[in-house]
Amino acid sequence: GESVGLHLPTLSVQEGDNSIINCAYSNSASDYFIWYKQESGKGPQFIIDIRSNMDKRQGQRVTVLLNKTVKHLSLQIAATQPGDSAVYFCAENSGGSNYKLTFGKGTLLTVNP
Amino acid sequence: NAGVTQTPKFQVLKTGQSMTLQCAQDMNHNSMYWYRQDPGMGLRLIYYSASEGTTDKGEVPNGYNVSRLNKREFSLRLESAAPSQTSVYFCASRIWGRHTLEGYTFGSGTRLTVV
């Protein structure tokens, strides 16, 4: 089965609200975790990543939290905008220096104006 | 600087036909990857090339072959297409030496239908 999974397949929020997308992983040896955004008809676009020796990393309007104890990853999007509507994937690097990524199934985020 | 370019963008094949998906990157990246994406699923790794001259199997290699033609180009070949290979195919590339995966760049995909 999938080693990386998502708790919620869909998420609908109001414009301006904060969004939280969750992800579970099972490979304790994974050393990098990445969140990607994928808009319809396009390839995945890097959002933010975090190394396994970190608990939190912030970017512009996005924050990734890593809880290694329960093997959980989350993406927080502040002040969600209509342009944030997309499918969000978490991925883990379990391939060491070869960086072979294992992806979760994705969460569809819909932002209502 | 186009990033990762995939051709064609769309393709319809009949069962048993062969074809090659092309991928080229102009970022001087060392490693290249081929993934497939099926409805309701995340991307799954088919093959990868850690460096020019090397290729290795990923999670779902059966039915595919690859060629790392040079540092820029990494092609994926379907010798005898099957309906189960209907999918969207993504090529990606990555430069060595980065401490993050921010440089892991994907192309826009090839949508393949096998009838």
* Res. B103: pLDDT tops 70: no
Task: Say how far residue A81 (Cα) sits from the centre of its chain.
Answer: 17
Which two three-digit tokens encode residue B19?
């074809």
- Which candidate from B44, B56, B104 shows the least CB-CB separation from A99? B104
Instruction: Say how many CA atoms lie within 13 Å of A13 toward its Cβ.
Output: 22
* Res. B102: pLDDT tops 70: no
- Tell me which residues of chain A, numbers 34 to 63, contact chain B at a CB-CB cutoff of 8 Å: 34, 41-46, 49, 51
Position with higher pLDDT, B4 vs A4: B4
Split at pLDDT 50, 70, 90, the class of A1 is: very low
CA distances from B9 to A18, A36, A75 (A): 35, 21, 31
Query: What is d(CA A12, CA A19) in angstroms, rounded to the nearest whole number?
Result: 9
Instruction: Name the minimum distance, in Å, from the CA of A61 to any CA of chain B.
Output: 17
